[in-house]
Structure 1
Amino acid sequence: MQMKLFHKTRATLAFWYAGVMGLIMSLCGFAVYEVIIQAYLVSINRELESVTGTLHNVIEATLKKPGRTEPVFQLVLPNICQASSGCPTQKIFSHNQLAHSEHGIVDVLYKDKQYYIRFVDSSGRLIAVAGFQPNELPPLVQTTQVWQTVKDSQSNRYSQMSLPLHTQDNQLWGYIQVGRSLKELDNRLAALKLVLALGLPITVLLVGGSSWWLAGLAMRPIDKSYKQMQQFTSDASHELRTPLAAINATVETVLDLEHLPEQEARDILVSIKRQNHRLVELVADLLLLSRLDQRTLATQWLPCCLNVLINDLIEEYSALASAASLQLTSSVLCHQPLYVMGDEDQLLRLLSNLIANAIQYTPTGGYVTVILKRSNGDAVIEIEDTGIGIAPNEQNQIFDRFYRVHSDRSRSTGGSGLGLALAQAIVQAHKGSIQVQSQLGKGSTFIVRLPLTDTPSSDFPRS
């Protein structure tokens, strides 16, 4: 069920990501397509405007009568063809025919570009043509529009500019129409369309594959968190079930007895009380962890003297250490008391968990030392022991909830596996850090760093 939900969510994320990226790339491709069209058209139109304006200015100054060509036409356009002489409008002049006309003003444009030039009268009737003539252009073209896009019989497009010509006495002579083939532009656009038509689907497929991979990476922390939550629920259920099962078994045993001696009844009540105390501690630890995680724990932050806290804990755990035939000592490597802002009860819980663990896992005849010192604005507390140590591959897991390096021994001593998890949560709540250094068979050192406060000890009562 979990894997099915994971794959479904991953596929949904990949689909939406690929869809959004496909839409963005389509819009970008369309924008690029439009920009290329406009840029190319602007370039063509500027060139066309320059040619048309040059011819217009040269020819218009010599015109005398409307609709009649002057010698300047032949001079400027050596290959001009008079419509009255039966020149076909479909004629296309070859480069060989233009080779002898090097003196023409726009001869170089004839060779390198597909230009045509037409002269029409005020009614739109064709007077003369020059340049490369397209096949079957409309015989009568509107002259009222300066810019037009026209097509020949083969659907080739041309951009055309029309300008009026006037005689010397300011009469309307007719119009000059200069057009340029858009075949090169259309070929480029066709190639671009092909690239977009093939490239976009391929890119979307690649994006989809990448999305699936990235969605998997993005969901790994979620999957890990989900598995940790499942593991936590399982471990918590197990820890709660153990004392409950013991209590239930004890009660059933008592109910099966017809007569219960007073001393035996007391022993049974003591056993039930012990299991109940274990339940209460476990629930309290879970509740504290939850509140620390959610930062909903109401705490009173006050300056706490670490020197006093450590001395109190050494005195408290001395009896436990003596019972285990261990030496518990402290070493303060600073001349002034060290204060941190925090909750005294939580700090006591932090240090007591670490000291209790050190005593628990140190064999008879060993040593447990608590060191307090100052380093770069932090108070550093080191709990050293000569215990059994922790394997390197387990040192990153010991702060996980319900994790036990030696589960059998921990269960026999009543440990729930929450002590180090609580210690880490308390340290993080106090904006500090905790780490472990350990070697198997040689012992472990837990190092706690807490930010110091500059409050003098004389300004506050004893913690």
Structure 2
Amino acid sequence: MNEQTLFRQTRWRLASWYAGVMGIILAVSGLGVYEAIDHAHRTAADRELQAIAGRLHDNIEPTLQQPGEIPASAQRFLPDPCNSPSQCTETVRAAEHAPGEMFQGNYYIRLLDPSQDLVALAGLKPPGLISSSSASEWQFLKDRDKTRYRQVTLPLQNPNEQLWGYLQVGSSLKDSDRYLSSVRLALFAGLPLALGFVGVAGWWLAGRAMRPIRQSYQQMQQFTADAAHELRTPIAAAQATVESVLDLPQLSEAEARETLQTLDRQNQRLSQLIQDLLLLTRLDRQIQLKQNDACCLQDLVSDIAEELAALALSKKIQLLTDVQVDQPLWVNGDEAQLYRLVFNLVINAIQYTPEGGKVTLALDQQDQQAVIQVQDTGVGIVPEYQAKIFDRFYRVDSDRNRQTGGSGLGLAIASAISQTHGGKISVQSQPGQGSTFILSLPIGSVRQPTPTL
């Protein structure tokens, strides 16, 4: 499976999982919203129905005498009463008394005797509303047109505390059901649309999330290929040397020494390359520095200039130092790593500066940053290569680096060390006019070491 197919399939899987999870969340959220709306409507309708039924119960119960008989004083609370549904018209007329006005519209009243036979029906006349028992206080009923009703049943007693019958008050849920139906339609129609947007967003987010992974994967592939090439070169050279010696019928002492020296050089090169790779691996893990570790940059600059003076002299190059800070400048960090960072920059400048040139190692302070500049008068770097010179195993001039023994890891190590110490390294260069590497490090709030007595 090639790289493009692998990442495309992974992106599809991420987008699908994201859309699936979001779909479940949206479905559960929509169901919760619908249940909340339905519960709110039911609660409001039940409270209103209970209030009306309670008021009617309190008005009618004191007027009742004989079970199954409705006195005239009680009928005034019932709008347009009738003794059976067949005798009632479906047209609801307005009542003259205020107590009955509340039952106009979506409410009906049923009065039942103790045997639960209908005594009177008032208010709304639902067509074909099924009869109900008084076993449950709250019930849902349906009429012939499948319209739902909510009904509450209350017992009625006469002054002798005998059971007179039952009062049933119900209200139509037509408007509420119509509203809930529109809510369901909106949720069912909105869910696929939302999933479509989520799918597009998931595809885009998956691409954004996988971009650094893909870059890391490509860098790892490139790094693996470069490392294998670099490791193969000294091993192949050593193998060729050994094979050439084995083909000789006799081996003199001078030839044996020369062979061993060649093998030693290749072994040192291989050992140095492995050490550089291990160092980069440790730096990639962002190893935390000890807060008490401190490095004086004046001493570091002086030591590097002293160590590389002989190399610069042998190449007929002037190595100058320019320290513009009077007070000792301390930074937090590993002194050995910082030493290697600046050492790599200076030796790189020396190697790429022709005879008669000049390399300047400068130290300055800008605000809370310590600035080290390594300036040379060498061949310079073209602009399109300046962003790549800190990549591992990258060479602007491979043949020249081969002659100097470089592996293409010096600037990569310098960049990694600067990042580990919270610093930044950059380059300014023009072809034929030399280069200037600028290293900025945060000044540390450290105490100078106390000399021991």
Q: For 1:26-105, what aligned pairs fall within 5 Å after superposition?
A: 26-83=27-84, 88=86, 91-94=89-92, 98=93, 101=95, 103-105=97-99
The 3-state SS of whatever aligns with 2:66 is coil
Q: 1:107 to 1:390 in 2, by over 3 A?
A: farther
The answer on 1:129 being equivalent to 2:118 is: no
- Distance in 1, matches of 2:41 and 2:78, equals 27
- Give the Cα separation in 2 of the matches to 1:457 and 1:167: 103
The 1:418/1:72 distance shift into structure 2, 3 A limit, reads same
> Any unmatched runs of 5+ in structure 2?
none
Q: Which structure 2 residues correspond to residues 254-269 of structure 1 after superposition, within 5 A?
A: 254-258=245-249, 266-269=257-260
Whole-angstrom CA distance in 1 between matches of 2:291 and 2:190: 63
Task: Report sequence identity in percent.
Answer: 49
In the other structure, the counterpart of 1:358 is 349
| Structure 1 residue 90, shift from structure 2 partner | 6.7
Q: Distance in 2 between matches of 1:168 and 1:195?
A: 54
Residues 427-462 of structure 1, C-alpha deviation per residue, up to 9 Å, x if partnerless?
Answer: 33444333333344432232231533543366369x
The CA deviation at 1:353 is: 0.4
CA contact (8 A) 1:353 1:423 kept: yes
Specify the alignment match of 2:5 in structure 1.
4
Instruction: Please give the alpha-carbon distance, in whole angstroms, between the structure 2 residues aligned to 1:34 and 1:108.
Output: 29
Note the alpha carbon deviations across 1:240-294, whole angstroms, 9 max, x for none: 1222222333333333444667656655544443333222221121122223334
For structure 1, which runs of at least 5 residues remain unmatched after alignment? Answer: none
Give 2:152's aligned residue.
161
Superposed counterparts of 1:339-418, under 5 Å: 339-418=330-409
Residues 78, 226 of structure 1: CA spacing in aligned structure 2 closer, same or farther, 3 A cutoff? closer
Number of positions where the alignment pairs a residue of Structure 1 with one of Structure 2: 451
Deviates more, 1:219-228 or 1:286-295: 286-295
The code of the aligned residue for 1:381 comes to I
The CA deviation at 1:235 is: 0.4
Give the deviation of 1:25 after TM superposition: 1.5
Q: Report the Cα distance in structure 2 between the residues aligned to 1:224 and 1:102, rounded to whole angstroms.
A: 84
**1:298 Cα deviation from its structure 2 partner:** 11
Which of 264, 273, 284 does residue 273 from structure 1 map onto? 264
Larger CA deviation: 384-393 vs 51-60: 384-393
**CA separation of 1:310/1:206 partners in 2, compared to 1, >3 Å: closer, same or farther?**
same
Structure 1 letter corresponding to 2:101: D
Match of 2:448 in 1: 456
Distance 1:119 1:391, change over 3 A: farther
**Backbone CA RMSD of aligned residues:** 2.9
Partner of residue 242, structure 1: 233
Tell me if structure 2 keeps the 8 A contact 1:75–1:104. Answer: no
Residue deviations 1:67-94, cap 9 Å, x none? 22222344333411233xxx51674224
SS at match of 1:304: strand
1:150-299 equivalence runs, <5 A? 150-258=141-249, 266-294=257-285
1:116 matched to 2:113: no
Asked whether the equivalents of residues 354 and 446 of structure 1 are also in contact (C-alpha less than 8 Å), the reply is: no
SS at match of 1:81: coil
Shift of 1:180: 0.6
Taking a change above 3 Å as real, the CA distance of residues 234 and 90 of structure 1, as seen in their structure-2 partners, is: farther
The answer (yes or no) to whether the contact 2:322–2:360 under 8 Å persists in 1 is yes
Q: Distance in 2 between matches of 1:364 and 1:414?
A: 19
Counterpart of 2:439 (choices 440, 447, 460) is 447
Q: What is the deviation of 1:121?
A: 1.1
Question: Bigger CA drift: 265-274 or 415-424?
Answer: 265-274
Query: Structure 1 residues 210 and 452, CA, compared in 2 at 3 Å: closer, same or farther?
Result: closer
Map Cα deviations across residues 293-332 of structure 1 (whole Å, 9 max, x no partner). 3467999975433222221221222232234333211111
**SS of residue matched to 1:61:** helix
Give secondary structure in 1 for the equivalent of 2:387: coil
TM-score (norm 1): 0.87
